[in-house]
Amino acid sequence: MEQKYHILVVDDEPEIADLVGVYLSSEGYTVTKCLTAGQALEAAEGESFDLAILDVMLPDLSGFTLCARLREKYPFPILMLTAKTSDMDKINGLTIGADDYMTKPFNPLELAARVKAQLRRYTRYNGGERKDSADEVDVAGLVMNKGTHRCWLYEEEISLTPIEFDILWTLCAHKGQVISAEQLFEQVWGEKYLERNNTVMVHIRRIREKLGDTDRGEGRIIKTVWGVGYRIG
């Protein structure tokens, strides 16, 4: 592995934290383990992380609250772990800025694969690709640069997670075309879209909030074509 990625693992069950740490270490990652949200926030202040794995049930703050606190300062991918399986719990995590979600018990090999996929996406937008004019789009005041993973709306920079950037870039790159939730999911996540999957809808809502684009759910920038999908321009 060319780069030594640093992963933050937060779980109040030492056995789970140790298990995750063993598998990630075997993949060549450096792992810092924390048992509480307070320890995690302190670690984030003092160290540089490339990805965080957060348990939802923590003794001091919930994993959702910790995710929101981290997202205020750090753009790295966040993956949530929880024993809860309801759609609402998943939506809560995605809405406050998580990039992925796994329920316990989980397959450590699948977790490692998801970590690898998130890191690949994240580093692709932080110096991993050649930067040229083809990496930039400008759609009605919304400017995105794929090479630097930066986005501006009317010259004000907007902070996006890697997943949010991927979704918005895909819509901008297909200006004027309607892109279905299924197409967005399969292109951005690289996985088969499953029926009744609300993941794209939740991320679109989050992006609209960041853009101030919440006019009665229709959006001034991201248009909803009911029953079909989304478009920009």
pLDDT tens profile 209-220: 888 876 544 557
Q: What is the Cα 91 distance to its own chain's centre?
A: 13
Residue 1 in this model has a pLDDT that exceeds 70: no
Average pLDDT over the chain reads: 84
Residue 42 in this model has a pLDDT that exceeds 50: yes
CA separation, residue 178 to residues 68, 204, 233 (Å): 31, 14, 10
Instruction: Kindly provide the residue ranges of all beta strands, DSSP E only, lying in the chain, ordered along the sequence.
Output: 6-10, 30-34, 51-55, 78-82, 100-103, 136-139, 142-145, 150-153, 156-158, 222-225, 229-232
Report the pLDDT value the prediction gives residue 124, as an integer from 0 to 100.
60
pLDDT digits (tens, 9 = 90+) for 147-196: 888 898 877 889 998 899 999 999 998 888 899 999 998 888 888 877 66
Asked if 48 and 76 count as a contact pair (C-beta separation under 8 A), the reply is no
- Lowest-confidence pick of 8-12, 75-79, 126-130, 155-159: 126-130
pTM above 0.85, yes or no: no
165 vs 102: CA distance, rounded Å: 21
Nearest partner of 233 among 173, 162, 188, 183, judged by Cα? 173
Asked if 35 and 66 count as a contact pair (C-beta separation under 8 A), the reply is no
Report the pLDDT value the prediction gives residue 156, as an integer from 0 to 100.
82
44 vs 60: CA distance, rounded Å: 17
Asked if 132 and 147 count as a contact pair (C-beta separation under 8 A), the reply is yes
